[in-house]
């Protein structure tokens, strides 16, 4: 950013800075004076890099709320749309000048009694020039529409992505990531194709047909009526048939190749089972069947193409025969000039191309249309958890959390939590324990406002969290998920993820606090070592410590920690416990405890079962009372201290 602003905004300042007098501190003593002029010129031609002005707010602005249409997207670039349209118009006109020039050259330069070599030559030259002009303009038009499409799609990509950032988590659990990826890629690409080629081609071809029809009718109504009325409907009917048939063939072969691929992948992945059960013969028969169906679909498409191509040629010949007969007769009767007849022939041929192209482009148009409908639907999904219009900023909190008569169900008719009341005091750490599916993570999700309670309220420092901005709430809450996600990038960028403006010293301190100092020191590039998505290159323990360091750096007032269930060696476990102690100092915390050692360290333990709090108190109190927790603890000790909440091994998570 600083570079962009500096270079773009003030190259003169840059030039002055590098003045020939070799300012101290610059490598190679600055720019030599003989190169100064060149350097200044170069700097002057540097493009300006305007720093991005985008901000993010949970509330979309009015323009983002409008229903998505192509016109709405294009409206932002009227100058590009206008110049594109003008070019399309001129190109369509120029392209039709050729036959008219030929007509003129024949009638005024070639017919006996009208010999004129100069007319013929000038028509020829003009033909050439117009051809060149059309080519040039087409280049310009493709350039304009290409740029327009790139800009429009850039806007759309950002708009959809921003929208996704606003949506609530339930949307992402319901919607498959694959579907969203295809919205963001193939649907937007379809639209890009449409804006880039489709619309202008459609316009040019449509205009060409209109212009030709007008020219034909103004040249000779009778002949025009014969040709247009006989040839065009025939061609149209055939083209529509072809369009339908080829689309059917396309769908058929698409479905059938999907079957082939599915069968292939199943057979290959299951090859051991296939071999062990002697199913090879049956597999081959089955594959023969699906491959055969795919072949039939391809044969059908081939047949359709084989009919359409020759049929259009046939219609063309029919038209030409008709023209020759009727037109020739009219020439002999002096009702039509020879030049006009030739022009008719040329125009007739030109009629075919637009129709064929329109048939092809129609698919593009259809795809673009359905893509825009799908994107529109996506953009109209409203977040379940949304900010109120008059949401206030949550002031710096002490960290008191209240659940007041909270009931909740992901599906409101099927409640998971039932009338839960709980107060967590500032600085208090509370461990949730209980069997899998009891609702522990769900409680944590409500505190973070990933979801809103179906009934009741969640308060932070006495303020209903529904009334504050999501940003101000979440900036004071730190979440350590069970499976910490690492983004592709350096360790440093992964650690500073939770807060803007984290300094290097802070990062190093955090790394030391959680006990990762030694690990980082061993890495070839220290904190600048690149880790990969999901942190596959790191051990489970290291990932957890990184997540703790990340939370530590974010300095939340309230910490929500979903303890990882993966079992660690004793050494790593000790380091993590120590890190956790440091992290919890002076913070309110909700710990979803899977190891009862963690629960034992909490100030208070809350036992949750079937969406209800069945027991709570300090670890010592609960053990002494001999209730559910004491039983759980005894069983846990007996099992050798493994995961306490996972009787059935199913994973729980905070997302």
Residues that bind ligand ADP (CB under 6 A): 173, 410, 416, 434, 436-442, 652
Q: ∠ at Cα 323 (320, 324), nearest 5°?
A: 85
Least Å distance between CB 623 and ligand ADP? 21
- For ligand ADP, the closer of residues 146 and 409 by Cβ is 409
Strand, coil or helix: 409: coil
513 within 8 A of 562, measured Cβ to Cβ = no
Least Å distance between CB 616 and ligand ADP? 15
Residues 6+ apart with CB under 8 A from 544: 484, 564, 568, 576
Separation in Å, CA 299 to CA 253, 264, 294, 340, 525? 10, 21, 9, 44, 59
Task: Provide, for the chain, the percentages of residues in helix, strand and coil under a 3-state DSSP scheme, each rounded to the nearest 5.
Answer: 65, 10, 25
Least Å distance between CB 654 and ligand ADP? 8
User: Among candidates 599, 644, 601, 618, which has minimal Cα distance to 431?
Assistant: 599
Tokens representing residue 195 in the block: 């804006």
Least Å distance between CB 262 and ligand ADP? 28
Pairing of strands 530-531, 489-490: antiparallel
- For ligand ADP, the closer of residues 426 and 437 by Cβ is 437
CA dist., res. 528 & res. 525, Å (int): 5
User: Among candidates 445, 427, 432, which has minimal Cα distance to 628?
Assistant: 432
Least Å distance between CB 458 and ligand ADP? 15
Least Å distance between CB 627 and ligand ADP? 18
CA dist., res. 14 & res. 18, Å (int): 6
Q: How many CB atoms lie within 10 A of CB 99?
A: 25
Least Å distance between CB 406 and ligand ADP? 13
- For ligand ADP, the closer of residues 434 and 478 by Cβ is 434
Least Å distance between CB 370 and ligand ADP? 30
- For ligand ADP, the closer of residues 93 and 416 by Cβ is 416
- For ligand ADP, the closer of residues 98 and 434 by Cβ is 434
- For ligand ADP, the closer of residues 200 and 442 by Cβ is 442
- For ligand ADP, the closer of residues 297 and 406 by Cβ is 406
- For ligand ADP, the closer of residues 68 and 438 by Cβ is 438
156 within 8 A of 191, measured Cβ to Cβ = yes
Pairing of strands 604-609, 429-433: parallel
- For ligand ADP, the closer of residues 411 and 638 by Cβ is 411
Least Å distance between CB 264 and ligand ADP? 34
Q: ∠ at Cα 175 (261, 442), nearest 5°?
A: 130
């Amino acid at each position: 950013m600083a570079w962009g602003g500096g270079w773009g905004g003030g190259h003169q300042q840059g030039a002055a800075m590098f003045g020939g007098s070799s300012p101290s501190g610059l490598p190679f003593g600055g720019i030599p004076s003989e190169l100064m002029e060149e350097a200044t010129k170069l700097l002057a031609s540097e493009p300006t890099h305007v720093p991005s002005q985008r901000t993010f707010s949970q509330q979309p602005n009015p323009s983002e709320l409008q229903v998505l249409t192509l016109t709405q997207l294009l409206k932002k670039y009227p100058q590009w749309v206008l110049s594109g349209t003008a070019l399309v118009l001129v190109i369509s006109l120029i392209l039709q000048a050729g036959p008219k020039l030929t007509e003129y050259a024949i009638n005024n330069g070639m017919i006996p009694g009208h010999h004129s070599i100069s007319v013929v030559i000038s028509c020829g030259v003009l033909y050439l020039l117009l051809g060149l002009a059309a080519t040039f303009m087409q280049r310009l038009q493709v350039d304009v529409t290409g740029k327009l499409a790139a800009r429009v799609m850039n806007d759309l990509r950002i708009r959809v992505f921003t929208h996704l950032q606003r949506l609530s988590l339930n949307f992402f659990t319901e919607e498959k990531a694959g579907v969203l990826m295809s919205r963001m890629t193939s649907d937007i690409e379809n639209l890009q194709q449409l804006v880039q080629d489709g619309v202008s081609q459609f316009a040019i071809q449509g205009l060409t047909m209109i212009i030709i029809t007008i020219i034909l009718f103004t040249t000779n109504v009778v002949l025009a009526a014969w040709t247009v009325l006989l040839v065009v409907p025939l061609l149209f009917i055939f083209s529509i048939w072809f369009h339908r048939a080829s689309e059917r063939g396309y769908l058929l072969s698409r479905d059938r190749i999907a079957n082939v691929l599915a069968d292939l992948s199943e057979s290959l992945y299951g090859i051991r089972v296939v071999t062990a059960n002697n199913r090879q013969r049956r597999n081959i028969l089955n594959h023969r069947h699906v491959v055969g169906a795919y072949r039939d679909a391809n044969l059908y498409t081939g047949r359709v193409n084989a009919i359409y191509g020759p049929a259009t040629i046939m219609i063309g010949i029919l038209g030409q025969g008709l023209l020759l007969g009727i037109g020739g007769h009219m020439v002999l009767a002096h009702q039509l000039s020879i030049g006009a007849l030739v022009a008719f022939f040329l125009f007739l041929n030109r009629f075919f191309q637009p129709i064929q192209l329109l048939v092809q482009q129609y698919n593009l148009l259809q795809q673009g249309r359905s893509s825009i409908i799908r994107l529109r639907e996506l953009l109209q999904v409203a977040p379940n958890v949304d900010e109120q219009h008059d949401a206030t900023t949550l002031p710096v909190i002490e960290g008191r959390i209240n659940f007041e008569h909270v009931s909740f169900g992901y599906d409101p008719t099927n409640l998971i939590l039932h009338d839960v009341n709980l107060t967590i005091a500032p600085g208090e750490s509370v461990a949730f324990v209980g069997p899998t599916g009891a609702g522990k993570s769900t409680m944590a999700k409500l505190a973070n406002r990933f979801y809103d309670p179906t009934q009741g309220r969640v308060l932070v420092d006495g303020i209903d969290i529904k009334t504050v901005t999501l940003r101000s709430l979440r900036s004071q809450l730190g979440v350590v998920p069970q499976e910490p996600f690492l983004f592709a990038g350096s360790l440093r960028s992964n650690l500073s993820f939770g807060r803007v403006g984290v300094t290097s010293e802070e990062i190093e301190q955090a790394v030391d606090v959680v006990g990762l100092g030694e690990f980082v020191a061993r890495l070839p590039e220290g904190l600048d070592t690149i880790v990969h998505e999901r942190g596959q290159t790191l051990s489970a323990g290291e990932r957890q410590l990184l997540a703790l360091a990340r939370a530590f750096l974010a300095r939340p007032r309230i910490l929500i920690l979903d303890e990882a269930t993966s079992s660690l060696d004793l050494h790593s476990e000790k380091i993590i416990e120590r890190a956790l102690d440091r992290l919890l100092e002076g913070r309110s915390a909700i710990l979803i405890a899977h190891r009862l050692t963690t629960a034992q360290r909490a100030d208070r333990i809350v036992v949750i079962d079937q969406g209800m709090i069945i027991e709570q108190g300090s670890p010592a109190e609960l053990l002494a009372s001999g209730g559910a927790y004491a039983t759980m603890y005894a069983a846990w000790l007996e099992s050798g201290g493994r995961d306490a909440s996972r009787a059935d091994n199913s994973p729980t998570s905070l997302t």
